[in-house]
Amino acid sequence: MHPDLVTSDLALLQRSRLPLAIERAQSKLARVEADTSAAKLVKASQRAKSVAQRVVWLQRAASAWARPIEAVSACRQGCSHCCHIPVTISHVEARLLAHASGRVPQEPTRSVRINDDVSAQRLVDMERQLQGAPLSPCPFLRAGQCSVYDARPIACRTLVNLDDDDLLCRHAGDSTAKVPYADARHLKMFALMAQAGSSYADIREFFPGSARAPAPIPLTKPTTATIG
């Protein structure tokens, strides 16, 4: 962890760090052994009987994929820098979060619907379109901790910083630095295909305001540098 820095000093340090961080990320990925259960969980998602069940299986696959990468990453319990950046989730994931938190999701004012035109470029375009909002805390961030960790979206499960510390994750004012995140586009693509016709928006669009802790409600049926 770094002490508080003047915004301009932090931005300069981040620009200087990035080339080394990318080298570190590539070196770490060369040593990581993939968790073979991730592929099995993706296959299990394809046999699910509902869209919500498919998404749950894919969330488990995302966690399995990320587990060995997290072991060599900068990510640590109690670090919540990434809980202030835009997070794109689907309408299905919003319903899963509603079930876990007891909150009622709102209809987004700014969203994108993905039909059958699923492609890597479509994923990039969607995230670029939805991730232009200013930095703000996730509505489920409470005392620096995720209050819905077990139900967190795929975007959160796969966001892994492969540098050695949190320098590049820190926020220089309202801007963010490039971070050597592990490349999870293949999992995000599976999720898009599993939810064709679903709408996507930032998590704050579905759940405006800060986190609360009411009783659960019944579940209804239903960019950045990347290294990989």
Query: Into how many domains does the chain fold?
Result: 1
- pLDDT exceeding 90 applies to what percent of the chain? 70
The answer for 108, left when phi > 0, alpha when psi is -120 to 50, beta otherwise, is: beta
In a domain, 16, yes or no: yes
For residue 173, what pLDDT is reported?
Answer: 73
In a domain, 2, yes or no: no
In a domain, 11, yes or no: yes
- pLDDT exceeding 70 applies to what percent of the chain? 87
Q: Looking at residues 70-81, what average pLDDT do you find?
A: 94
- Say if residue 146 is exposed, middle or buried (CB neighbours under 10 Å; 0-12, 13-18, 19+): middle
What is the separation of C-alpha 71 from the centre of its chain, rounded to a whole number of angstroms? 17
In a domain, 194, yes or no: yes
Q: Looking at residues 129-144, what average pLDDT do you find?
A: 89
- Entry pTM: 0.85
The pLDDT tens digits of the residues spanning 175-204 come to 778 999 999 999 999 998 899 888 999 999
In a domain, 66, yes or no: yes
Average pLDDT taken over every residue of the chain: 87
CB 139 within 8 A of CB 204: yes
In a domain, 214, yes or no: yes
Q: State which residues form the domain around 75.
A: 7-227
For residue 88, what pLDDT is reported?
Answer: 94
For residue 216, what pLDDT is reported?
Answer: 38
Q: What DSSP string runs through the chain?
A: ------HHHHHHHHHHHHHHHHHHHHHHHHHPPP-THHHHHHHHHHT-SSHHHHHHHHHHHHHHHHHHHHTTSS--TT--GGGGS--EEEHHHHHHHHHHH-PPPPPPSS-EE--S---HHHHHHHHHHH--SPP---TTEETTEETTGGG--HHHHT--B-SSSSGGGS-BTTB-----EE--HHHHHHHHHHTTT-EEEEHHHHS-S--------PPPP----EE-
For 29, residues 6+ apart whose C-beta sits below 8 A from its C-beta are: 69, 162, 182, 227, 228
In a domain, 91, yes or no: yes
In a domain, 31, yes or no: yes
